[in-house]
Structure 1
Amino acid sequence: MRVRTVLGDVASADLGVCDAHDHLFLRTPRLPGRELDDPAHAAARLRAFAGLGGRTIAHWTPYGLGRRTKELAELSAATGVHIIAATGLHQAVHYDPGLLARIRPGLAALFHRELTDGPAGMIKVAGGFHGLDEHARHTMAAAAEASNATGAPIGVHLEEGTAALDVLDLLCGSLGVPPDRVILSHLNRSPDPWIHRRAAEAGAYLCFDGPSRAHHATDWRLFDVLAALAEAGHTDRVLMGGDTTTPDTPGMPHLLRVLRPRVEAQLGRGVATAIFETNPARALAFSGRAGGSP
């Protein structure tokens, strides 16, 4: 299996320790004055991550939100950390309506082009709070078309961790995306073990990311839900990420300095290896023709 990074394809077995959901650069009107837009700061975080044994990050900043793809390639080359960039779209509130109107008719072609010609190695889309609006459905349809043509994985922002099963019903039911091509994120923000088990049983990957100040009340439940998934036999579906969204987010270093040792201490070294190495090597890989034409 191959993974598409900003410096080209690599064997999935070479990814090493992965941060399965993060951001080096991000600009959105939803976070005014709190942009991630400093290459020196990004380089420092990457070096700290690498110093703790990190080898790969999945950079979930999609089209139109300040990905800085040229800098991503430069940072990867300078630090030796693999970076997987995203195409796709976030929720409509993150964009100028004029931009959405221009790109909407050719969205699937845009995603496909960025997956095949660069810079993207995955697609990022977003649901809504306990449901899917028209923008989400349109974006997910385009993502499904591009994923089914290329084999690219689809990462899904779940608003407050909700609507996981609605997303799977649409992507994997109506739109025919294999469930192991879908990564559901922010599940720690809605720590519902029943929903988590259902999503894992469906075959999707479950990404627990953060921590985040806005969701601190759920942080202490993270290891309860991880333990519940392990007990139910779903360790092979779990991923973790730092999800750095503002300059003060603990992010990548916290993921490996604090959370990974705790996974190992509470759930065992084998579970930690699965979550940070084995599972992301599968989840982030292209399936089928890996970027071929439809």
Structure 2
Amino acid sequence: MVATVRTVLGDVPAAELGVCDAHDHLFLRSPLLPGQELDDTGRAAEQLVAFRALGGRAVVQWTPYGMGREPEALAALARSTGVHVVAATGLHQAAHYPPELPGRLRDRLAGLFVSELTEGIGSTGVRAGLIKVAGAFHGIDAHSRLTMTAAAEAHHRTGAPIAVHLELGTAALDVLDLLCGELEVGPQRVVLGHLGRSPETAVQREAARAGAFLAFDGPSRAHHATDWRLPEQLTALTDAGFGGQLLLGGDTTVPETPGMPHLLNRLRPRLEQALGKEALDTILVGNPARAFAWRVSSPSEG
């Protein structure tokens, strides 16, 4: 069976994904970020064009349900720029929504996720390619359990990967205990985001030993432990044998953040010097092709 990635323009062979920004946002809206919405189609196009000019070929957008995904605009941008774009279903932390929304969706979350993965987001026909959920700070709260349980059900029904926002990089092991233990999701189907924001090497290695993909996707906030520690963190994990489970992303969350081109024109040269070209190509090309494919058996295969 050929592994495929579900993009906003349809399924593509995973091997054709190319250089991938594994976690970013072209459109995003949240009450936690008033006046800082990502809602400018022109700016999104500029980001994609610049990213492609630097060799980028795919962007995985983690914006979930109810946060301004703009699926039709995503499809139009993918078509006009030639960049593969993956959209997300799922639900972020409760703080990103009106207070009544999570409760209103409670009994139909899994069905909603499945519908957006298989039929389309709303009436657009643009299908999501992954399920995005979120942990709490240093733990799993009731909302996290609700959304992760629904995500696991949707995963078991579709084979779609699950991407997890770790709040300030924490609770990685709690998330894996729930998703991969209690809810029986294969760890190679889980992408843990923001691990660089809590640079605790023991936790990073334990999460890697469990089999999950580890996303380092932090340039969006200067006060996080992100860019300056990235070479040493990735080198340590690669040297420990986990190079086949690492991912890189820009995570553009507000307009003033560096954006997708920063990943390739600023971070890539530093990381290539630290890791070597072959190892970095694995992180940017080979690993995303497996992490976001709908059905693969092991993070070491491919």
| 3-state SS in 1 of match to 2:144 | helix
Task: Work out the CA distance in 1 between the residues paired with 2:105 and 2:226.
Answer: 37
Q: Deviations over 1:224-247 (max 9, x none)?
A: 111110110100010000000001
Task: Work out the CA distance in 2 between the residues paired with 1:160 and 1:88.
Answer: 19
Q: Deviations over 1:93-150 (max 9, x none)?
A: 0001222222111000000111111220000000011001000001000000001111
Matched-pair contact (CA < 8 Å) for 2:28–2:69: yes
Q: 2:88 aligns with which of 86, 89, 93?
A: 86
Which residue number in structure 1 is paired with residue 99 of structure 2? 97
Task: Work out the CA distance in 2 between the residues paired with 1:270 and 1:19.
Answer: 17
CA shift for structure 1 position 31:
0.4
Which residue number in structure 2 is paired with residue 286 of structure 1? 294
Q: Deviations over 1:128-175 (max 9, x none)?
A: 110010000010000000011111000000000000000000000000
Which residue number in structure 1 is paired with residue 58 of structure 2? 56
Matched-pair contact (CA < 8 Å) for 2:20–2:57: yes
Moved beyond 6 Å, runs of 4+: none
Task: Work out the CA distance in 2 between the residues paired with 1:80 and 1:253.
Answer: 16
Identity level (%) = 64
- In structure 1, give the amino acid aligned to 2:271: V
**Which deviates more, 260-269 or 5-14?**
260-269
Which residue number in structure 2 is paired with residue 133 of structure 1? 141
Matched-pair contact (CA < 8 Å) for 2:18–2:58: yes
Q: 1:113 aligns with which of 103, 112, 115?
A: 115
Q: Does 1:192 align with 2:194?
A: no
Which residue number in structure 2 is paired with residue 237 of structure 1? 245
Q: Does 1:13 align with 2:31?
A: no
Which residue number in structure 2 is paired with residue 253 of structure 1? 261
Task: Work out the CA distance in 2 between the residues paired with 1:196 and 1:215.
Answer: 20
**Which deviates more, 119-128 or 258-267?**
258-267
**Which deviates more, 21-30 or 214-223?**
214-223
| 3-state SS in 1 of match to 2:252 | coil
Which residue number in structure 1 is paired with residue 154 of structure 2? 146
Matched-pair contact (CA < 8 Å) for 2:149–2:183: yes
Q: Does 1:77 align with 2:79?
A: yes
Q: Does 1:269 align with 2:277?
A: yes
Question: TM-score of the superposition, structure 2-length normalised?
Answer: 0.94
Q: 1:171 aligns with which of 173, 179, 188?
A: 179
| 3-state SS in 2 of match to 1:19 | strand
Aligned length: 288
| 3-state SS in 2 of match to 1:4 | strand
Change beyond 3 A, Cα 1:217–1:282: closer
Aligned-CA RMSD value: 1.0
Question: TM-score of the superposition, structure 1-length normalised?
Answer: 0.96
Q: Does 1:207 align with 2:215?
A: yes
Task: Work out the CA distance in 1 between the residues paired with 2:224 and 2:10.
Answer: 37
Matched-pair contact (CA < 8 Å) for 1:4–1:121: yes
| 3-state SS in 1 of match to 2:22 | strand
CA shift for structure 1 position 220:
1.6
- Unpaired stretches in structure 1, ≥5 consecutive residues: 289-294
- Unpaired stretches in structure 2, ≥5 consecutive residues: 121-126, 297-302
CA shift for structure 1 position 258:
1.0
